[in-house]
């Protein structure tokens, strides 16, 4: 345990010293020993285990206060005392996201305007409109997995979930198609986005300054930003060249609607920022959530069997699930929630004090001072989640158990007015896809695989592969050898021979 020192070296705020920091603090550079620049979240999670519900971590001159205690997180959720803070890592993303919804300061005019104009794109009615498009994108995924099944090969789960979620947000939100499933490698949009997210995350430890290398990085960054801007141009050009008067998607809301009260419209520049924001925020985290859920399903055969039994019962053996049938997969939703508990793919959010205040009676904050809620740590607070928070157990999300917990202990989508606008979109898409995969395949993981997580502001499993095996068609509806089963096998063949 770190021993609280009595005096603050910064002076003026001796109280800061009352919260612990890692033991091996190095002059000037800070708390960097044993720290890997690529995994700030997983390192902070380890520190939280040792240092408790609130600690400070110093990286160069910057002292970050990290919160993982449920009581403190509940305080920080009080919108009258705290508000979202656009911290450096998010600010760095303004190079591509500008004053789009995610990177905007709450006081910037385009935040409220954008929020109000885009809100109709996330209603229940909107989800019902997206549902058939989501289904069509999921069928592209299963066509690929049918080919794996036919060839007996394994799928790279995160890569395929990224193909799926990128096509889903692009097609539902913008009527735009990246063709991700038609290429073997990563789409250049995804590559440029991942590099941008990594650059924004920045090095958490100082690296030797190599001027040639930093020039190279600068050029790379400018090239990526230019490329991403070109993609946005293309999205807008397609819509303006082939106007779709019936379109009721995010793009038409941005281009053609006014604020319901003030009549204001989004500026052309802001629209560009919003498009990129939604293309990125709308797929990267959902892809991670799906990948983690599939990882936990493969690791827990009992959970997988129960989830599959639910799908078979609620959806039946064949046919397209309706919008409403997706919402009925209550157990599968709990699997998703439990995956997001252990690995919330947007692993934190930052809260700044609106006025001078004291957090938890221990940590005085000036107006503007901020703390980060580290959600993977909050989601493991033993005071809330019990003595074995690492255990994967979807029944933690049984309604009566959720009701028995205090508020603000499960925050994978952030908090308050700046919480995720795409929550229902993501949950519907992910539940739909998991249901389709469970109904269609046995999923075989590599028992030797050990979870490895890449960090780039978001969390994503890497190297996780699954071999899909077509299930025997469910007994009564389609006995083996029936037209149904033969038809299904037949569609797999051409794709299989290609792969």
From the candidates 174, 397, 420, 431, which is the catalytic residue? Answer: 420
CA dist list (Å): 365 to 68, 72, 142:
17, 13, 51
- Looking at 121-249, list the stretches that DSSP marks H as alpha helix, in order from N- to C-terminal side: 124-151, 157-174, 188-201, 211-241
CA distance 278 to 420: 11
CA distance 31 to 9: 15
CB neighbours of residue 231 within 10 Å: 20
Q: Which of residues 302-321 bind ligand MNH (CB under 6 A)?
A: none
Active site (annotated) includes residue 491: no
The minimum distance between CB 94 and ligand MNH, in angstroms, equals 13
Which window, 48-56, 261-269, 279-287, 389-397, contacts ligand MNH (CB under 6 A)? 279-287
66, 56 Cβ separation under 8 angstroms: yes
Largest CA distance in the chain: 79
Is residue 278 at the binding interface for ligand MNH, with CB under 6 A as the rule?
Answer: yes
CA dist list (Å): 129 to 155, 333, 431:
30, 21, 16
CB neighbours of residue 363 within 10 Å: 20
The minimum distance between CB 471 and ligand MNH, in angstroms, equals 27
51, 21 Cβ separation under 8 angstroms: yes
Which window, 31-39, 196-204, 226-234, 416-424, contacts ligand MNH (CB under 6 A)? 416-424
CA distance 204 to 193: 20
From the candidates 55, 278, 397, 413, which is the catalytic residue? Answer: 413
CA distance 331 to 309: 10
CB nearer to ligand MNH: give 51 or 161: 161
Active site (annotated) includes residue 278: no
The whole-angstrom distance between residue 440's C-alpha and the CA centroid of its chain comes to: 25
Q: Which of residues 52-81 bind ligand MNH (CB under 6 A)?
A: none
385, 410 Cβ separation under 8 angstroms: no
Query: Contact with ligand MNH (CB under 6 A): which of 127, 150, 169, 457?
Result: 169
Is residue 102 at the binding interface for ligand MNH, with CB under 6 A as the rule?
Answer: yes
User: How many residues of this chain interact with ligand MNH, rule: CB under 6 A?
Assistant: 26
CA distance 286 to 187: 17
CB nearer to ligand MNH: give 158 or 277: 277
153, 499 Cβ separation under 8 angstroms: yes
From the candidates 285, 350, 375, 467, which is the catalytic residue? Answer: 285
The minimum distance between CB 418 and ligand MNH, in angstroms, equals 4
Active site (annotated) includes residue 375: no
Query: Contact with ligand MNH (CB under 6 A): which of 44, 270, 286, 291?
Result: 286
Is residue 349 at the binding interface for ligand MNH, with CB under 6 A as the rule?
Answer: yes
CA distance 428 to 131: 8
The minimum distance between CB 348 and ligand MNH, in angstroms, equals 8
Closest CB to ligand MNH: residue number: 422
Which window, 6-14, 28-36, 285-293, 445-453, contacts ligand MNH (CB under 6 A)? 285-293
Which window, 142-150, 151-159, 280-288, 441-449, contacts ligand MNH (CB under 6 A)? 280-288
CB nearer to ligand MNH: give 21 or 341: 341
Phi, psi of 468 (to 5 degrees): -80, 140
Which window, 227-235, 275-283, 305-313, 445-453, contacts ligand MNH (CB under 6 A)? 275-283
Q: Which of residues 120-139 bind ligand MNH (CB under 6 A)?
A: none
Q: Would residue 266 be called left, alpha or beta, if left means φ above 0 and alpha means ψ between -120 and 50 degrees?
A: beta
Which window, 47-55, 283-291, 379-387, 461-469, contacts ligand MNH (CB under 6 A)? 283-291
Is residue 84 at the binding interface for ligand MNH, with CB under 6 A as the rule?
Answer: yes
CB nearer to ligand MNH: give 84 or 148: 84
Is residue 425 at the binding interface for ligand MNH, with CB under 6 A as the rule?
Answer: yes
The whole-angstrom distance between residue 100's C-alpha and the CA centroid of its chain comes to: 17
Is residue 281 at the binding interface for ligand MNH, with CB under 6 A as the rule?
Answer: yes
Phi, psi of 398 (to 5 degrees): -60, 140
Contacts of 294 (CB under 8 A, 6+ apart): 157, 161, 434, 437, 443, 464, 466
The minimum distance between CB 241 and ligand MNH, in angstroms, equals 24
The minimum distance between CB 280 and ligand MNH, in angstroms, equals 9
CB neighbours of residue 34 within 10 Å: 9
List residues binding ligand MNH (CB under 6 A): 84, 101-102, 115, 169, 277-278, 281-282, 285-286, 289, 344-346, 349, 412-414, 418-422, 425-426
Q: What residues are labeled active site?
A: 285, 413, 420
């Amino acid at each position: 345990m770190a021993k609280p020192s009595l005096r603050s070296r910064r002076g003026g705020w001796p109280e800061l010293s009352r919260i612990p920091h890692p033991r091996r603090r190095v002059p000037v550079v800070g708390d960097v020993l044993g720290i890997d620049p690529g995994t700030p979240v997983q390192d902070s999670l380890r520190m939280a285990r040792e240092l408790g519900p609130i600690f400070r971590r110093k990286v160069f001159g910057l002292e970050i206060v990290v919160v993982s205690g449920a009581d403190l997180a509940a305080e920080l959720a009080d919108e009258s005392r705290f508000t979202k803070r656009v911290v450096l890592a998010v600010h760095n993303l303004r190079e591509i996201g500008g004053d789009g919804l995610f990177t905007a300061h709450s006081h910037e005019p385009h935040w409220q305007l954008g929020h109000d104009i885009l809100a109709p794109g996330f209603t229940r009615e909107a989800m019902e409109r997206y549902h058939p498009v989501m289904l069509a994108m999921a069928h592209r995924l299963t066509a690929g997995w049918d080919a794996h099944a036919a060839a007996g090969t394994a799928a790279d789960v995160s890569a395929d979930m990224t193909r799926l979620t990128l096509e889903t947000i692009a097609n539902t939100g913008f009527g735009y198609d990246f063709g991700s499933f038609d290429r073997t490698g990563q789409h250049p949009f995804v590559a440029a986005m991942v590099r941008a997210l990594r650059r924004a995350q920045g090095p958490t430890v100082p690296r030797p300054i190599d001027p040639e290398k930093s020039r190279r990085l600068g050029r790379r960054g400018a090239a990526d930003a230019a490329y991403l801007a070109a993609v946005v141009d293309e999205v807008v050009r397609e819509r303006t060249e082939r106007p779709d008067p019936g379109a009721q998607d995010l793009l038409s809301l941005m281009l053609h609607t006014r604020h319901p009260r003030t009549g204001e419209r989004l500026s052309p520049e802001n629209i560009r920022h919003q498009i990129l924001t939604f293309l990125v925020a709308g797929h990267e985290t959902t892809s991670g959530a799906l990948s983690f859920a599939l990882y936990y399903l493969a690791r827990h055969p009992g959970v997988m069997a129960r989830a599959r039994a639910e799908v078979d019962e609620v959806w039946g053996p064949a046919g397209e699930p309706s919008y409403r049938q997706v919402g009925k997969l209550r157990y599968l939703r709990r699997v998703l929630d439990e995956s997001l508990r252990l690995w919330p793919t947007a692993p934190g959010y930052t809260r700044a004090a609106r006025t001078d205040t004291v957090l938890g009676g221990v940590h005085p904050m000036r107006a503007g001072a901020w703390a980060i809620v580290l959600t993977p740590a909050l989601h493991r607070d033993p005071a809330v989640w019990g003595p074995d928070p690492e255990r994967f157990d979807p029944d933690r999300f049984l309604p009566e158990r959720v009701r028995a917990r205090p508020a603000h202990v499960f925050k994978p989508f952030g908090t308050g007015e700046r919480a995720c606008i795409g929550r229902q979109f993501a949950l519907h898409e992910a539940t739909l896809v998991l249901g389709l995969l469970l109904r269609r395949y046995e999923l075989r993981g590599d028992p030797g695989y050990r979870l490895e997580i890449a960090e780039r502001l978001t969390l994503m499993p890497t190297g996780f592969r699954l071999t899909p095996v077509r299930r025997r068609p469910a007994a009564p509806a389609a006995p083996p050898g029936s037209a149904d089963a033969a038809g299904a096998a037949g569609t797999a063949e051409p794709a299989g021979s290609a792969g």
